[in-house]
Amino acid sequence: MKKNKNNIIHKLTLQTIGHEKRQQYMIPVFTIVLSLIFGLIVIALLGSNPFKAYYNLLQGSGLAPKASYAGHKGMITDFTSFLNALTPMLFAALAVLIALKAGLFNIGVSGQMLAAGFTATILIGYSDLPAVVAKPLAVLIGFAVGALAGALVGWLKHRFNINEVVSTIMFNYIFQYVISFLINTFYVDPVSRQSKNVGAAGRLTLVDVVIGDYKMDIPLGILLATVGIAVTAFLLNKTILGFEIKAVGSSTRAAEYAGIRVGRTRVLAMMLSGGFAGLSGVTYYMGYFASIQPKVLVSTGYDAIAVALLGNSSPIGIIFSSFLITVISKGSTYMNSASGVQAEIASAITGIILLFSACGAYVKYKVNRWKEDN
């Protein structure tokens, strides 16, 4: 009897994710569905209605209408504020993705974000430059600082064979503590205990823009992120550099044999990765927020690793995975107030999704084994 039951599960799984060509889409979907089911059970055990809680997540992200809104607020304002949160995540995921393609693990996205965000804040955010100059400059500085931080990691790997995982983790600490020292010493706002807010001219999100009856936040960075995704897709699939990055990432020895300069390619890949992390930093600290909280490293850089994996390490894939993860995190506040489910549950679900997505290769292996057995 037990055997029979197993067979039904086997057949069901095989029919859904057994097909080799569809596997690259179906396995992430499978892990997400599994995680959401897990979340349903946890929320039900806590005594709340899980379906309502999930609906709250959508409402909180501006993807479904809430029962009532405050003045000048509506679904559309929730949605633009959702896009505001999505922007840094997209850039961070791109950063992880490019490094992954070159066979490198950029754990340092959060640190690179902070370094870029901080530099742009003090150079542009606190300056008196007019908006037309300040905004592009903030973006450029963010990219440049991130790229430098990334290139340094790549160079250390190439020159001294220092594992990038170790060096990026160490740089995370260095950036975190040095910058919090600088903020606390020179730039602290005595009331909020954070860095002083950046001026509106340099800020990459337009705040409280009045359109019709609504007051909304418009993230300019989302346009840049869209371009970033297109550029990355083009770079990886259609350029010599992309070809070389992928070759180095899949087989260093074969790449070297083919005449590719492995060290140079790695440094370039890390530069691009760091650059995107920098863009993530400026859209986070000078867009989504306007200040930096000292001694705190945002989780975006770590979540982005999983987002990139869940998105199948493809530029198009990360649109979907960033979207999903941001819905869960952004909607969690509303879920908490509307259903009384702790916001931490949302983080737990994110964690489970990421855990399962990291098991993607195993799931694939297991399913293909079943397929052989049948």
Partner 1 sequence: MSDYIIEMNHITKRFPGIVANDDVSIQVKKGEIYALLGENGAGKSTLMSMLFGMYEPDEGEIIIRGEKVKIQSPNHATKLNIGMVHQHFKLVSNYTIAENIILGMEPIKKTLGLFKSVDIKKANEDILALSRKFGLEVDPTKVIEQVNVSMQQRVEILKMLYREAEILIFDEPTAVLTPQEIEFLLEIIRSLRDDGKTIILITHKLEEIKKIADRCAILCRGKLIDVLDVATTDTKTMANLMVGREVSFTVDKPEPQYGKEVLRVEHLTVCNEDKYEVVKDVSFSVREGEIFVVAGVSGNGQIELADAIAGLIKPTRGTVTLNGADITSYSIRKRNLAGISYIPEDRHNVGLVMDFTLSDNLALKNYFEEPFSRKGVIKTDEFTTYGDKLIDKYDIRSSQGNDTIVRSMSGGNQQKAIIAREIELGSSLTIFVQPTRGLDIGAIENIHKQIIGERSKGKAILLISLELDEVMNLADTIGVIYNGEIQKIADARELTPSQVGEFMMGVGGRHEKE
One of 44, 169, 258, 316 touching partner 1 (CB under 8 A) = 258
Q: Where does 31-165 show beta strands of DSSP type E?
A: none
* Using rule CB under 8 A, residue 260 touches partner 1: yes
CB closer to partner 1, 213 vs 372: 372
What's the token pair of residue 10? 């086997």
CB closer to partner 1, 7 vs 192: 7
Is residue 113 within 8 Å of residue 260, measured between CB atoms? no
CB closer to partner 1, 194 vs 368: 368
Residues present in the chain in total: 374
Tell me the angle at which helices 131-160 and 262-283 cross, rounded to the nearest 10 degrees.
Answer: 150
What's the token pair of residue 232? 């990355």
DSSP calls for 140-198: HHHHHHHHHHHHHHHHHHHHH---HHHHHHHHHHHHHHHHHHHIIIIIB-TTTSSBPPP
Q: How far is the CB of 25 from partner 1 (least distance, A)?
A: 17
CB closer to partner 1, 105 vs 257: 257
Q: How far is the CB of 259 from partner 1 (least distance, A)?
A: 3
Report the relative pairing of strands 205-211 and 214-219 from DSSP bridges.
antiparallel
Segment near partner 1 (CB under 8 A), from 108-116, 135-143, 257-265, 330-338? 257-265
* Using rule CB under 8 A, residue 251 touches partner 1: yes
Report which of 184, 180, 187, 199 is spatially closest to residue 126, judged by C-alpha positions.
Answer: 199
One of 67, 128, 185, 372 touching partner 1 (CB under 8 A) = 372
CB closer to partner 1, 6 vs 239: 239
* Whole-angstrom Cα Rg for the chain: 22
* Using rule CB under 8 A, residue 261 touches partner 1: yes
CB closer to partner 1, 126 vs 243: 243
CB closer to partner 1, 247 vs 324: 247
* Using rule CB under 8 A, residue 259 touches partner 1: yes
Phi (first) and psi of residue 295, to 5 degrees: 60, 15
Return d(Cα 282, Cα 288) in angstroms, integer. Answer: 9
Contact flags string 221-250 toward partner 1, x per CB under 8 A: ----------------xxxxxxx--xx--x
* Using rule CB under 8 A, residue 253 touches partner 1: yes
Residue 31 CB: number of other CB atoms within 10 A? 23
Q: How far is the CB of 20 from partner 1 (least distance, A)?
A: 10
Phi (first) and psi of residue 205, to 5 degrees: -120, 130
Phi (first) and psi of residue 207, to 5 degrees: -95, 140
Query: Is 219 strand, coil or helix?
Result: strand
Question: How many residues line the site for partner 1 (CB under 8 A)?
Answer: 22
One of 255, 279, 308, 353 touching partner 1 (CB under 8 A) = 255
**Which residue has 């869940």 as its token pair?**
310
* Using rule CB under 8 A, residue 256 touches partner 1: yes
Q: How far is the CB of 251 from partner 1 (least distance, A)?
A: 5
Tell me the angle at which helices 131-160 and 75-101 cross, rounded to the nearest 10 degrees.
Answer: 30
* Using rule CB under 8 A, residue 257 touches partner 1: yes
Return d(Cα 106, Cα 110) in angstroms, integer. Answer: 10
CB closer to partner 1, 186 vs 234: 234
Is residue 215 within 8 Å of residue 209, measured between CB atoms? yes
One of 12, 133, 227, 254 touching partner 1 (CB under 8 A) = 254
Q: How far is the CB of 222 from partner 1 (least distance, A)?
A: 27
CB closer to partner 1, 48 vs 232: 232
Q: How far is the CB of 308 from partner 1 (least distance, A)?
A: 17
CB closer to partner 1, 159 vs 193: 159
Terminal CA-CA length for the chain = 18
* Using rule CB under 8 A, residue 266 touches partner 1: no
Binding site for partner 1 (CB under 8 A): 237-243, 246-247, 250-251, 253-261, 371-372
